[in-house]
Chain A
């Protein structure tokens, strides 16, 4: 039996502990905002947070998760994250399929570095692919969110295993 906290809610799972987090989120919990792109940690579509870290959920087994998980559905739980507002303002998404992962990666960056340089943005976002070519807008939106949002408001609501609600 595995216990895992997702977006502030504690879940129990008695299936295969080797199941990658992505498929637990999508097929067991129905949190389909986290999306499958490559299954090999090469595209970043499935990025979520474990604690404050951006993690490729397709490549991490449930048994290896050592913190609370936040998905795109939990990023804006207390109102839209500054990045989500910036994404809307810059009309970033085209097809939109990669954008959950882009946003989660960017949110982890701003938590670690509230005012990243251009080079730091590129370095942090280099593993997130976008086939529609929205990169210039992603870059601009991160810059704006970093300059608009204070340090505290840029942080996603982090749930620890201790303060999680049980469902």
Chain B
């Protein structure tokens, strides 16, 4: 077993060659920010990304977060491709957040949201690999007193062509690190890649099947206590950045302080209370016994029914942000020979990461350390500094592998805020862990959104006008107000914007208008896998089917005609139809199709299902064809498509968060079900990267999500003749009449 493995050291989670779970308990508290910086700066670097030891071990730094999307493998591959190093000797290492700040963000953006990790790092990682290679070549040429052009690098060895002399990277690295970093390097052409596009062995895989400590929930520190937290159950608006709902009025600590193991009962901000004990079970048991009085009356009028009504009533409001306008849609609709209109709705959705929200913190007088399952290490550091009122240079964030992210752990840092408040109050290291019930009822949910779409056709059945209105809570207003423009959240229209429609060539219509009406409900909303594209992809692709049906056309051929000028979309759509043998499904099997572009990747899916007389749906097969422009690790890309499809299918069938009297009704997996192994259809994924080096690289992690729900309900229509215009499907009666 040669896989590089995770282990816990005083510097936090790194990878090593040991397969042992050594360092499970830290014997001493970890390094301060200053010590940590000193320990790293001592290593000879070939650019900030690469360190090569004398034994030829190649450490490649990783700035982004690992949550299952496989970047601990795919990001080092990008560096190693140009570095020409031996992949078997590559050891990935997470970089320190504090050091990134101290070194003026030498490792760039550390966030892993919006499927950015590969597509937004690939250029500078490949460049760093090439720069490091050039430094090694220059050092070898200098030793051999020959022009660098006579030297070639391959598999961690530099060879002198004329004489056949060789020298290993490990021998060159220390001196090479003192050479200047070349400003300009020439990157390989894609056809010359040897590593990118291959299924090399993934990093860290042994740790994941042997139960080694890799998650924030696994951290154990000296004198560590455990905290269970309860936040006011009722939403009624926002109290502060991450605090929603009614306030904590009072609690009777003395009723539980004598229970076994209990050490502290502390208020947490304005809206929560925590019990801290010597084991988490003791903390949770005491929390359940703790009498608490909440100010939850204000939540009385807050319900998903009321929010839905408000959104629907505001679809035609005049305070609308227009995201796209072509021609004059109202005039065209007034003159249309035929008009089709329909409203759609998607519910609030939770994230349900298998690892509930958690964070371990140690806070002293003027500094703080946290062990965090964060998609956004720099954001965590900022929230910790802001919460404690200390300078960010006094904060160390140890990034741990995430037990699922899906957008819950990026900009929403409520768990980090709570952990440092508790740790500060008790003056000892504390591991905060939410119950599943706390996790389900206190999310930053994918927002409920409603749409109204109207299409107009001329006398010959040609589409001449398409008007869209969306209404829901703004995610930017909740978590990223600085990204709003003129007080509006244009991101809520993703999927309908020109950039998301093959630069305006897809679904070309002479008159188009897309508008979003912001109505911020008193419930926290946030990012989700494929967020906005998944809501709007459902609305758009469901409505495209309705338009096709209105003209008596096949939904695939109808799309084809409107995508004639979008080469990539057409190729992906055609391949999906071909792989599915569109139109020739077996008896009793019905097909639905949809296509969505998500962050420069184009994905089409065909769902095949049957509906029994009692209304039971069985999904038999999902065909997925995706063009991500380039593919780094194909097996990982396929796994991400499968995962996205399964998550989207579960959401479309049963997923919803509902609220009454300000309180979330769902609490655990019995009433927030996820798909189970026996419910998974056969999934066939076909990677169809166009390989156009002039295009930005496309997304992978979220790309499989958006087309699934519309393909599913389009297939339900094919099977039953029933148009499903709201999700989830479980709320609809599909029995044959």
Contacts and interface: CB of A to CB of B under 8 A. Distances in A.
A74 to B, nearest CB: 9
Interface in A23-68: 23, 26-28, 30-40, 42-43, 45
Interface stretch (B170-178, B209-217, B380-388): B209-217
B205 A133 contact: no
Contacts of B680: 133, 135-136, 139
Nearest to B211: A33
B320 interface: no
A128 B635 CA distance: 23
Interface string B2-35: 0100000000000000000100110000000000
Interface string A109-122: 00000000000011
B677 A91 contact: no
A14 B21 CA distance: 26
Interface residues of A, number: 61
Interface stretch (B247-255, B396-404, B610-618): B396-404
A126 interface: yes
Nearest to B435: A39
A132 B351 CA distance: 11
Contacts of B402: 95
A98 interface: yes
A123 interface: yes
B678 A84 contact: no
Given A33-B211, A34-B211, A96-B403, A133 B645 contact: yes
Q: Which of B21, B406, B639, B677 has the most CB of A within 10 A?
A: B677
A125 interface: yes
Contact of B211 (A71, A92, A122): A71
A84 B1 CA distance: 12
Contact of B670 (A35, A42, A121, A133): A42
B205 A91 contact: yes
A38 B643 contact: no
Interface string A85-104: 00110011111111110010
Contacts of B205: 88, 91, 93
B677 A122 contact: yes
Nearest to B73: A91
Contacts of A6: none
A133 B212 contact: no
A151 interface: no
Contact of A30 (B24, B212, B356, B403): B24
Q: Which of B261, B279, B280 has the most CB of A within 10 A?
A: B279
Contacts of B643: 94, 132-134
B274 to A, nearest CB: 17
A39 B284 CA distance: 11
Contacts of B258: none
A93 B210 CA distance: 11
B260 interface: yes
Nearest to B67: A95
B677 A36 contact: no
A36 B401 contact: no
Nearest to B704: A133
Contacts of A3: none
A21 to B, nearest CB: 10
B220 A30 contact: yes
A122 to B, nearest CB: 4
A40 B670 contact: yes
B678 A122 contact: yes
Contacts of B209: 76, 80, 84, 87-88, 92-93, 99, 103
B632 to A, nearest CB: 14
A108 interface: no
Interface string B579-606: 0000000000000000000000000000
Q: Which of A38, A40, A84, A135 has the most CB of B within 10 A?
A: A38
Contact of A133 (B208, B217, B646): B646
A131 interface: yes
Nearest to B406: A131
A38 B436 contact: yes
Interface string B205-239: 11011111111011010000010000000000000
B639 A19 contact: no
Contacts of A126: 676-678
A27 B281 contact: yes
Contacts of B647: 131-133
Given A73-B211, A123-B678, A38 B669 contact: yes
A32 B431 CA distance: 13
Given A37-B436, A96-B214, A132-B647, 8 more contacts: A15-B260, A16-B282, A32-B24, A32-B218, A75-B211, A97-B404, A122-B677, A130-B354
Across the A-B interface, give the 7 residue pairs with the lowest CB-CB distance, nearest first: A33-B211, A133-B646, A97-B403, A94-B68, A95-B68, A72-B211, A122-B678
Interface of B: 1, 3, 21, 24-25, 67-70, 202, 205-206, 208-215, 217-218, 220, 226, 260-261, 279-282, 284, 352-356, 401-406, 433, 435-436, 635-636, 639-640, 642-647, 668-670, 674-678, 680, 683
11 contacts: A19-B279, A34-B211, A36-B433, A40-B668, A72-B210, A75-B211, A121-B677, A127-B676, A130-B354, A133-B675, A134-B643
Interface of A: 15-16, 19-20, 22-23, 26-28, 30-40, 42-43, 45, 71-73, 75-76, 80, 84, 87-88, 91-100, 103, 121-123, 125-139
